[in-house]
Structures are given as structure tokens and as C-alpha cells.
Structure 1
């Protein structure tokens, strides 16, 4: 049997191994690469920058908390824009509590000619609910048109249906104007103040005068 007679060389290891091998590539307690997504790696990079520049050490649990908060914000923003895209209106109003003061009018059960809309308008104004007052004023316009036989009222008809029934050009144009105001204020949930109500009321008053002047 051959015996290895080569000379043995004793290597002297450096005593500053901790300083020499202290980079991130030698940190085996951190999960990197494919195991982390882009957001987690970005947060880790940011925290490492804080450590390198300011010497700030951040607990790993805090980094996880930041990641969760960012996820919540991103998910909430995505839901907001999806709702806005689907319902075609301000998404905030989708989450906002709806106005519980609803017109006590059952259009499917009683004819509009039997409703005291002047009293309803008065009550709405006393409560400073100008948006509801506009709703009643629009119903009053339909009531006046129906009484004069300028339209045939039915709860399933649309503004366009009524407009087609009005032969008088001036009244039809004025009705088109108040229909626009009503849709914008009521269905658009436009928050109306007293001055805005006064401005809108002028168009309703003009139509009312024209209807009364019809023989």
C-alpha cells in the first residue's frame, strides 16, 4: 500500500470572518428570489436602505404589517374602480347610506291627480330637503300636464314618453329642461342647497305658468 508522503500545508484562517462575510448574499435567514413577490422584495429593499443610510433596524413583523396595509389599499382601490365602471356613477355613493326620506307616493296604486303635492313640497322645504322638494315639483308638473290633458300619466312612462305627447313646442322645451334638472338632482343624488333650489325652481315656475295659460 502506497503512503501519501506529500507535505501538509497548514492554512491560517482570518479572524475577521464576520466582517468579511457580512453582505446580504451571506444572510441565510432572509427568503429571497422566487419565494418573495415584487412587493415584498420592494419593501425589503426599502428597509435595507433605511438600515444602510440611517442605521435603522426594522423588525420583520413590521415589514409584514406594511405589506398587508399596502395589499388592503390596492384591493380597496380595485373594488372602487370596478364599481365605478359597472354602475357608471360616483362609487362613493354606492357605499354611502341612502336618503331614508322617500316620497310617500305609491305611483303604482293611485293616480297622481289625487295627491296634494303642494303640501308635500311645503313639508320638504320646512325640513330643508331641497332635493326632495324638486322631486315633488317634478311630480306636480306631471300632475298639471295631466289635468290639462297634455299628457296621459302612467307610472311606467319615461320622460321621453311624456315629451313625445306634448304638442306645444314651448311647453315641450320647458318640460325637457325640468326633466334634465330632475334627473340630475334626484337620480344623480346632487346635494342641493337653498340657492340651487331657487335657481331650479324658476324653470318649474315657468312651465307651470305656460300650462295654466293653455285654454
Structure 2
């Protein structure tokens, strides 16, 4: 019995040794790899260094790159409108601040439009009151507008006052025209002529019966046409002579 146990133990011991030898034989051996200079590849290309532009931050200062919202500061006008909104809110019992702000916006715009209309009206009125003159056009054309109105209402015009004003402003040609129209008014009142705004000097000359009056009127018409329609400078001597001739003739017609 003991012999049998001993034989089995020897059998198992020998089989384990054989298995370890077979594993040692089957395991491959590691080889040591050696690299030489020929096996090393060196990249000889030049390396380019990149750098940021000095002002690159300025490109990102635009509003679309700002992600932090800041409430805009209120100026004096905004504070005034806010004060008005609060005032009207308490005065008219508005439901919220937005309604009061809309009311103030409408009110301010309406007042602005009203102010513009008033200013335009005052400018137009000032231009119209400047002896009927407009901004554009020649000086003679601007004055004819007012003179035509005088001719249409010849018998209602105070020529003495008009002549006094024109003398004070130094308008000699205008004074000569007033004298001529004043003469026509006096001749019409004395029924020497029949006044009509469409008539010419020749028409009036034909209507005058008295030869002396006809000669005076022909001479004064000559002076008037050359002074009023002429483009020359009227000197003091010629104006004084013309003024004296008109006053003499007007006085003669008035007392005649």
C-alpha cells in the first residue's frame, strides 16, 4: 500500500516539472531593437511663429460682441419727460407708467408741430407786411404787387402820407410814382379825366380839354415814364425839379 502511494507522488511531481519545462520552451524570447542615425527622420522645415495684432481687441468692441446689457443713462430731457409722465399719471389717474409715457410723447410731438406752424406763420406774415414784398424776384416786380392795389383803390389812398413815408426812406422813384397817381386822383375828382386802371397816359391826355392842363400833363407823364421805368440813378437836382412840377400841377387842379 505504501509503495503504491509513493509511486503516485513521484508520478505527479515528474509531470509538473515537465509541464514547466514545456512552457518555458514555448515562450518566445524578447529581441532588443537598436536604432541608428539613418533610422531617425528630422523635419528641417522652418517653423512660423504666429502672433496677435496689437489692436485685435478693438474689432470686438462692436455692440454685437457685447453680451452684457447695460441700462442707458437718462439725460435731462428723459428725466423731464419722466417727471411729466408721473405728473399726468397722478393728475389723470393713468393705469400704468407706460400709458402716461405714451401720453407725454404724443403731447410733446403735438406741441412741436404747433410751434413749427406758428413760426412759419410769423415768417410769412413778416414777409407780407414788408410793403407787400416777397423774398424772390426783382425789386421792381415785388413793389408792383403793392402798387396795383393802390391803383385799384385810388380814391381811398392817402397819398400825402405815402409820399412822406417814401421821402423818409429815400425812395425817390417811388415818390415820383405816388405824385403821378395823386395827380390822376385829383384830375378824376375834378372830372377832368375818367379814371380807369386799364387806361394809358395817352388815353388820359386825349380826355383833357384844357390846353394848358394838357401840356402840363404831357410834361409830367414824360417825367414819370423816364423816372419810374428808366434804369438810371435819379439825382437830387432832377428829383427836386420833378417834385416841384407835380406839386404845382396838383395844386392848380385842386384849386381850379
TM-score, length-scaled by structure 1: 0.51
> What is the CA RMSD across the aligned residues, in angstroms?
2.2
The structure number with the bigger radius of gyration is: 2
Which one of 135, 152, 159 corresponds to residue 201 of structure 2? 159
Which of 201, 206, 217 matches 1:175?
217
Aligned equivalents of 2:226, 2:140: Cα separation in 1: 16
Matches within 5 A, 1:73-88: none
Q: Which runs of 5+ in 2 are unaligned?
A: 1-136
CA distance in 2 between counterparts of 1:111 and 1:166 reads 22
Over residues 177-209 of structure 1, what are the superposed CA-to-partner deviations in whole Å (9 max), with x where a residue is unaligned?
110000000011332133221111122122112
1:111 aligns with 2:153: yes
CA distance in 2, matches of 1:109, 1:125: 20
Measure the CA separation in 1 of the matches of 2:193 and 2:162: 22
Q: Which has the higher contact order (CA 8 A, sep 6+)?
A: 1
Shift of 1:100: 6.3
Kept after mapping to 1: 8 A contact 2:151/2:197: no
Q: Does 1:143 align with 2:185?
A: yes
Structure 1 unaligned spans of 5+ = 1-95
* Cα shift readout 1:97-141 (whole Å, capped 9, x = no counterpart): 544662523359833111111111111111111011001100000
Larger helix fraction of residues: 2
The match for 1:129 among 171, 180, 190 is 171
Q: Aligned partners of 2:141 and 2:170: how far apart in 1? A: 15
TM-score (norm 2): 0.43
Kindly report structure 1 stretches of 4+ aligned residues shifted beyond 6 Å: none
Asked if structure 1 preserves the Cα contact closer than 8 Å seen for 2:166 and 2:172, the reply is: yes
8 A Cα contact 2:152 2:197, kept in partner: no
C-alpha distance in 1, partners of 2:202/2:149?
18
Instruction: Please give the alpha-carbon distance, in whole angstroms, between the structure 1 residues aligned to 2:222 and 2:157.
Output: 23
